[in-house]
């Protein structure tokens, strides 16, 4: 079977980083996590970085912290996309806020014109998802948010490795949330990074991410300075446990060191797919703006009979996927049915093809051949 995703690790580099944790006798937050956060800030150019146990955690913390620090009320609105993994929209709901869906454009990301139409007096923020690593029309969304005084949150789950002018593109977002889930461009097992623009937001996130405890007990516990664990703390919040740990951070550090090389390889495979599919009028490729160097987390095509193609590929030993079914199709978000026709269309017609670092030339040749065979029959 040609696999859709397959995480690849530099095993020796991972083991070297992991060995340091095990020899130091430190696997929790505060050792390798500190190193990873420093390296991530350097790599992305973002102001702050807090290593958490998933992108879901980063998103949940983002809306919780922004609501608290900006005095938002229950039922206030966040404009979001339906073409995403549900945890993007769950994060809004979990904070007691309401996702208001705007439609996507041909980048499968939010359409700025439609975002503007959804703004009401209750709108507090926009959640932009850089689907498959594509920054889409982020800059226009940024202008809309600035104009209307809205916060801008980026779900960058697919964007580790995306660059514009050598840096991560969404530098001026209020919060950027990355995923280091096993099928993402920087694969660990499960973890993520929360990057707030405002340091005070990050400080609150660090409290809320460790059961609401108001002291950096873990960082003082760090092995390097051998301080004593602090138990004289207060607990001003009822909160979850969202910390990242040093074992996972060790893997992430090794992965970060080869992220650019790995994304180059992804882009090479996508260039081959693009060249083949651009000659076939029955399929549409997803467009990226000039100057953007996308991470290429997924390779997606828009086809007429998507479900038929998924079945045909499967019968021919090729896994494929869907990123994503419109969240409006799910019971929790059904209140928005009929509001986003392009999202409905993409939900039924977009297919994700195999893309990973161990895919062979023969395998990509076969994927191309079978897709073309089906769509031209």
Ligand X SMILES: Cc1ncc(COP(=O)(O)O)c(C=O)c1O
Contact residues for ligand X, defined by CB under 6 A = 54-56, 84-85, 87-88, 129, 155, 157-158, 179, 181, 192
Residue 15, both tokens? 């083991």
Strand order in the sheet with 283-285: 283-285, 299-303, 350-353
- Is residue 129 within 8 A of residue 101, CB to CB? The reply is no
E strand intervals along the chain: 50-52, 77-80, 98-101, 123-129, 151-156, 163-164, 175-179, 192-196, 283-285, 292-293, 299-303, 350-353
- Is residue 110 within 8 A of residue 137, CB to CB? The reply is yes
Q: Is 85 or 221 the residue whose CB approaches ligand X more closely?
A: 85
Q: Distance (Å, rounded) from C-alpha 52 to C-alpha 248?
A: 10
Q: Is 9 or 233 the residue whose CB approaches ligand X more closely?
A: 9
What's the min distance (Å) between Cβ of 177 and ligand X? 7
What's the min distance (Å) between Cβ of 53 and ligand X? 8
What's the min distance (Å) between Cβ of 270 and ligand X? 18
Q: Is 145 or 187 the residue whose CB approaches ligand X more closely?
A: 187
What's the min distance (Å) between Cβ of 65 and ligand X? 17
Q: Distance (Å, rounded) from C-alpha 226 to C-alpha 230?
A: 12
Q: Which long-range contacts (CB under 8 A, 24 or more apart) does 224-229 make?
A: 224/31
Task: Report residue 169: phi and psi, to 5°.
Answer: -75, -30
Q: Distance (Å, rounded) from C-alpha 118 to C-alpha 52?
A: 32
Q: Is 161 or 192 the residue whose CB approaches ligand X more closely?
A: 192
What's the min distance (Å) between Cβ of 76 and ligand X? 21
What's the min distance (Å) between Cβ of 102 and ligand X? 16
Q: Is 129 or 346 the residue whose CB approaches ligand X more closely?
A: 129
Q: Is 88 or 246 the residue whose CB approaches ligand X more closely?
A: 88
């Amino acid at each position: 079977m040609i696999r859709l995703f397959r995480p690849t690790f530099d095993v020796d580099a991972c083991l070297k980083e992991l060995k340091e944790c095990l020899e130091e006798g430190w696997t929790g937050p505060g050792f390798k996590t500190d190193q990873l956060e420093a390296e991530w800030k350097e790599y992305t150019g973002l102001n702050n970085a807090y290593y958490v146990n998933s992108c879901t955690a980063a998103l949940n913390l983002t809306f919780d912290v922004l609501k608290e620090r900006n005095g938002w009320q229950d039922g206030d609105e966040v404009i979001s996309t339906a073409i995403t993994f549900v945890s993007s929209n769950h994060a809004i709901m979990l904070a007691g806020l309401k996702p208001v869906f705007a439609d996507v454009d041909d980048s499968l990301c939010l359409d700025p014109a439609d975002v503007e139409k959804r703004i009401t007096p209750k709108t507090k923020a926009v959640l932009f998802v850089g689907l498959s690593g594509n920054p889409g029309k982020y800059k226009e969304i940024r202008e809309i948010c600035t104009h209307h005084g809205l916060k801008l949150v980026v779900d960058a789950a697919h964007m580790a490795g995306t660059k514009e002018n050598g840096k991560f593109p969404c530098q001026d977002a209020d919060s950027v949330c990355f995923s280091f889930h096993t099928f993402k461009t920087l694969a660990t097992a499960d973890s993520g990074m929360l990057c707030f623009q405002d340091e005070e937001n990050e400080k609150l996130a660090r409290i809320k991410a460790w059961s609401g405890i108001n002291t950096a007990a873990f960082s003082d516990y760090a092995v390097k300075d051998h301080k004593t664990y602090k138990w004289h703390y207060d607990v001003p919040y009822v909160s979850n446990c969202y910390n990242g740990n040093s074992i996972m951070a060790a893997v992430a550090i090794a992965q970060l060191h080869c992220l650019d090389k790995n994304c180059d390889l992804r882009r090479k495979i996508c260039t081959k797919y693009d060249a083949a599919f651009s000659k076939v009028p029955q399929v549409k490729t997803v467009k990226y703006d000039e100057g953007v160097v996308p991470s290429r987390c997924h390779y997606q095509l828009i086809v007429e009979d998507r479900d038929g193609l998924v079945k045909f590929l499967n019968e021919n030993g090729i896994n494929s996927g869907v990123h994503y079914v419109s969240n409006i199709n799910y019971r929790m978000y059904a209140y928005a049915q009929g509001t986003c026709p392009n999202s409905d269309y993409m939900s039924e017609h977009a297919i994700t093809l195999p893309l990973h670092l161990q895919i062979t030339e023969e395998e990509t040749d076969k994927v191309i051949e079978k897709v073309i065979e089906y769509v031209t029959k």
